[in-house]
Chains A and B, each alone.
Chain A
Amino acid sequence: AQKVTQAQTEISVVEKEDVTLDCVYETRDTTYYLFWYKQPPSGELVFLIRRNSFDEQNEISGRYSWNFQKSTSSFNFTITASQVVDSAVYFCALSEANFGNEKLTFGTGTRLTIIP
């Protein structure tokens, strides 16, 4: 069975601070995908990143960066120089790499509040 743990339920930081959201996962699959989604107050799920289990390279996209460590089963997400628009619930998720059936198992989410 797959499991995703986001131990941080809520985080508040002052604007322009850096913040890291933690994600730890469990799976017996050797090939899988890891994801981060953002859910703003409007409710839609915004895709941020998908990472293949064979690709442990860290990734940076603007103010966002992701640290994938297979040895610790973690896929952490850092926002640099946070902005008020970053306020949202962030979900980490996991799926098997099984075409036609890549259902997502989500973590419980981290509510991030950026204080102006």
Chain B
Amino acid sequence: AAGVIQSPRHLIKEKRETATLKCYPIPRHDTVYWYQQGPGQDPQFLISFYEKMQSDKGSIPDRFSAQQFSDYHSELNMSSLELGDSALYFCASSAAPPMNTEAFFGQGTRLTVV
């Protein structure tokens, strides 16, 4: 079965650079979530989209932005990267009722800022 695809899997950037993370949800899933997991921490919700509209926003820095495109894939854009942005970034997708599935997570993108 198709899963959530995230690319790239690993990314190394220098401070003050920009990064773009991509997420391809499971087909027919209409909701996408982004989470950030720092070393030794639990995943923290960043932002979500339902039917290509932002549905909720968590502790996402102003330097970050995201969107969901017409084909339902999503991108997380991160600018002016800081050392503290080094983390594992997860994308998850789900389907609203009537399918009403739980969120399925991608394998994550490990971002290292040096």
Contacts and interface: CB of A to CB of B under 8 A. Distances in A.
A100 B50 CA distance: 5
In which size bucket is the chain B interface?
20 to 34
B96 interface: yes
Nearest to A103: B45
Nearest to B35: A104
A34 B60 CA distance: 24
Majority SS at the chain A contact face: loop
The winner among A43, A101, A102, A106 for most chain B CB atoms within 10 A is: A102
Given A101-B56, A103-B33, A109-B42, A47 B50 contact: no
A103 B30 contact: no
Contacts of A108: 41-42
B51 A100 contact: yes
A66 interface: no
